[in-house]
């Protein structure tokens, strides 16, 4: 029975995580990654076997009397994995906020559309504006005579987007 319940729970968690990873919203994607990671952790616990008693040694130097103990190693593995996923989740959430600051949106379709826009931009002035705005340390030769005007337009447009969005 325990095995059946755990199998259903694991399947549901992996399905839910996968569903969320495929959403448009970056926050939901991060949630999806978190759920998939936790599902992997639950799976890891089940890999130690579900029967047996807790592997508790009665005292120092005494022999273990119980014959069938549950494998405690997987629980230690899960602790390590949880610590790692805590760090990566924190980073993913901060990155999400940063994406919102930079793009004014956390919709993946919007982000993708901007990506295509960059690719098709023959003049490349947007890239230029970004390289100035991003690093703040580089400058390049002019692309064209109206570069200065386009650059400032792009920059103001971008900052408006990130403030207003």
Partner 1 sequence: MVEFAAWSATFVHTVPLATTANSPPSPPIPSPLVAILPLLAPLATAVGALLVRRSDRAQRAVSVLGAIAYLGAVAALYAAVAEQGTLTYQLSDWQAPFGITVVADSLSVFTLAFAAALSLAAVVFSVLYVDSYGQRVSYHPLYHFMMVGVTGSFLTGDVFNLFVWFEVMLLSSYVLVAFYSGPEHTRAALGYAVLNLLGGAVMLVAIGGLYATTGTLNIADMARRLANASEYGIDPVPVLGLSAVLFSVFALKAGLVPFQFWVPAAYRAAPAPVAAMLAGVVKKVGIYAIVRLNFTVFATATLPAGLSLPGFVGESFLSFYGPILFVMAAASILVGGIGAISREDLDSMLAYSSIGQIGFVTLPLAVGATVPAIRPLAIAASLVYALNHGVAKALLYLVSGTIEDTVGTVRFRDLGGIAVRDPVLGGSFLLGALALIGIPPLSGFFAKLLVFDTSGSALALDGRGAALAIAIGLTGSILTIVYFSRAWTRGFWGPPGRAIEFWGGADDGAVSGDGRATTDGGTATDPVPEGAAEVESTSPSVGLVGIVAVLALSLVVLGLGFDPVADAAMAAAEAALDREGYVRAVLGGTG
What residues line the site for partner 1 (CB under 8 A)?
21, 26, 29-30, 33, 36-37, 39-41, 43-44, 47-49, 55, 64, 69, 71-74, 76-77, 79-81, 83-84, 86-88, 90-92, 95-96, 98-99, 102-103, 111, 114-115, 118, 124, 127-128, 130-143, 145, 147-148, 151
Least distance in Å: CB of 102 to partner 1? 4
- HEC string of the chain equals CHHHHHHHHHHHHHHHHHHHHCCCEHHHHHHHHHHHHHHHHHHHHHCCCCCCECCCCCCCCCCCCCCCECCCHHHHHHHHHHHHHHHHHHHHHHHHHHHHHHHCCCEHHHHHHHHHHHHHCCCCHHHHHHHHHHHCCCCCCCCCCCHHHHHHHHHHHHHHHHHHC
Which residue's CB is nearer to partner 1, number 16 or number 74? 74
Least distance in Å: CB of 2 to partner 1? 16
Least distance in Å: CB of 40 to partner 1? 4
Least distance in Å: CB of 1 to partner 1? 20
Which residue's CB is nearer to partner 1, number 5 or number 67? 67
Which residue's CB is nearer to partner 1, number 5 or number 122? 122
């Amino acid at each position: 029975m325990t095995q059946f319940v755990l199998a259903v729970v694991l399947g549901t968690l992996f399905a839910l995580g996968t569903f969320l990873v495929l959403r448009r919203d970056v926050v939901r994607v991060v949630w999806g990654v978190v759920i998939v990671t936790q599902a992997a952790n639950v799976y890891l616990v089940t890999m130690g076997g579900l029967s047996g008693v807790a592997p508790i040694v009665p005292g120092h130097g005494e022999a273990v009397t119980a014959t069938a103990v549950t494998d405690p190693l997987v629980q230690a593995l899960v602790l390590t994995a949880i610590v790692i996923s805590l760090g990566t989740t924190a980073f993913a959430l901060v990155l999400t906020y940063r994406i919102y600051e930079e793009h004014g949106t956390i919709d993946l379709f919007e982000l993708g559309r901007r990506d295509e826009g960059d690719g098709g931009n023959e003049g490349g002035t947007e890239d230029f504006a970004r390289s100035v705005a991003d690093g703040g340390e580089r400058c390049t030769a002019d692309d064209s005579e109206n570069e200065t005007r386009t650059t400032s337009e792009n920059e103001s447009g971008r900052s408006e987007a990130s403030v207003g969005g």
